[in-house]
Amino acid sequence: MNSDSLRRATNPTPNTQNSVHYRAHGVLFSPAVPVGVDVQVESLDSISEVDMDFTMTLYLRHYWKDERLAFPSSTNKSMTFDGRLVKKIWVPDVFFVHSKRSFIHDTTTENIMLRVFPDGHVLYSLRVTVTAACNMDFSRFPLDSQTCTLELESYAYTDEDLMLYWKSGDESLSTDDRISLSQFLIQKFHTSSRLAFYSSTGWYNRLYINFTLRRHIFFFLLQTYFPATLMVMLSWVSFWIDRRAVPARVSLGITTVLTMSTIITGVNASMPRVSYIKAVDIYLWVSFVFVFLSVLEYAAVNYLTTLRDGKDRKLRDKAREQAQGLPCTCGMTHARTMMLDGSYSEADANSLAGYTREPEAPDAPPEKSQERMVVHLALDTESSTGGATKKKGLRGFRIIQNTHAIDTYSRMIFPGAYIFFNLIYWSVYC
C-alpha cells in the first residue's frame, strides 16, 4: 500500500465503488456505506440476576470496501496490520447499546486485526468483552427461561450514511460448542436487525444478537425446595407427640418456623428486589404457612386440654364431696348421678367411656376399701325417638372436646392439603 492510498484513506468517510454522488436540496452527499458484520461468541462468562446483566466475550468483525485503500498486487494477496494503522484510517464506529462495561483485550498486545485486500475490501476484527443489561422476568423463577439481547449500532452515522447489516444472515453468528453455564442451559442464538429512532438525531441501523437461556432446576431443588418440604414434614411430627409434652412440641414448632424464615431470607438475598411475586416465593410462603399452622394447632390442642382438665377437676371435687352421701343431682337440671359400688370388670369400666371415675377416699379403711365410680348420665328431656340429629350433635361436641381427635385429624388433613398444593404448583409451573 503506497502513501497516496493511505493519505486518501484518512478522510472521514469512504466513497462507494463508483464514487457516485447525489444532490438533494442543494446539498451534495454520497450514498450510505454498507458495512457487514459477523460475530463469533467465544464465551458467555456470567449471568447476574441481582444486577440483571450478562458478560460475553466475542470476536467482532466488520467488512466494507474503501477504494482508497486499494493497491496493486501481482499475487492478489491481502495485507494484514495491527491496531496502529486503525488510528490512521476510517473505521466504522460501532458500539454496544445498553452496555455497562466493555473493553478490548490487550494481552500481550491489543487484540485488533486489520486486513486489506488489493481491491480495497477491508476486514476489521477485534476481541471484546462486554457487560450489557438484560431485562429479566422472575415471575416463574427458578422455573424460568430468560432471553437476553446484545445490540450493535453506529454511534455517529445514521442509516443515510452507514448501512449496518449482518453479512451472512443467521450464519453471521457462530458460537463455541464448549460454551456452558452452571445455572443455565443455552438453548439457541439467533440474529435480527431493525431501525432505531432517536428524536434528536434520526434513524440508525441496529443489529441484535439474541440468545435464550433456560435455568437448571436441580440446584434449587437441592438448596430450596427439598429443605422447605422437609421442614413442613418435620412440623407434622408434633401431631404424634403427646399433647402434654409442652417443651417438645413448642421447641419443634419454633425450630421449624425459624428454619423456614432462614430459607426464605437466603433465597431473597441472591435476587433483585422486584415488586412482584416469584414462583419460589409462592412455594416457600405456603410452606411457611403450613409450618405456622402446625404451631397454632398445638396451641388449640393445649388450650382445649386445659379447659377440659379444669372441668374434670371440678367434677372430681364434687364427686369427692358426694362420695360419703347418697347420689344426688346436685342442682343439675338434666343430669342424674349414679354411683357404682362394688366389684366390676375392667371391660365394664371401659364401656363407660367419657365418664369420671372417683378414686378411693383416702380415709377409707383398708378392709372396707372398694373402688367407686361416679357416673354422670346426661338425660335428654325429650323422648329417645329424637335420635339421629342428637347423636350427630353429640359426636361433633366430642370431637371438639377430645384433643386426641384434633391431632388425629391433623395427621391426615395437613399432609393431604400439602400434597394437593404440590400437585397444583408443579403442574402450573412445569
Dist. CA 414–CA 422, nearest whole Å:
12
Provide the pLDDT confidence category of residue 211 given band limits of 50, 70 and 90: very high
Phi, psi at residue 355, to the nearest 5°? Answer: -95, 160
* Strand 145-154 with 94-97, pairing: antiparallel
Enter the pTM of the model.
0.70
Cβ proximity of 230 and 179 under 8 Å: no
pLDDT tens-digit profile of 71-129? 998 888 899 998 888 989 999 999 999 999 999 999 889 999 999 999 999 999 999 99
Is 384 a residue whose pLDDT tops 50? Answer: no
Return d(Cα 202, Cα 207) in angstroms, integer. Answer: 16
- For residue 329, is pLDDT > 60? no
Q: What are the cell numbers at 11?
A: 478522510
User: What φ, ψ does residue 390 adopt, rounded to 5°?
Assistant: -65, -40
Which residues, 6+ apart, have CB-to-CB distance to 417 below 8 Å?
290
Do residues 339 and 361 make contact, with C-beta atoms less than 8 angstroms apart?
no
Res. 271 pLDDT band, cuts 50 70 90: confident
pLDDT digits (tens, 9 = 90+) for 286-308: 999 999 999 999 999 988 888 88
pLDDT digits (tens, 9 = 90+) for 306-317: 888 888 888 888
Tell me if the bond preceding 92 is cis, omega within 30° of 0.
no
Burial of 235 by CB count in 10 Å (0-12 exposed, 13-18 middle, 19+ buried)? buried
Mean pLDDT of 265-283: 91
Examine the pLDDT at 356 and tell me if it is beyond 60: no
Higher-pLDDT residue of 381, 303: 303
End-to-end Cα distance, the chain:
62
Query: Quick one: which of 46, 121, 124, 47 has its CA closest to 87?
Result: 124
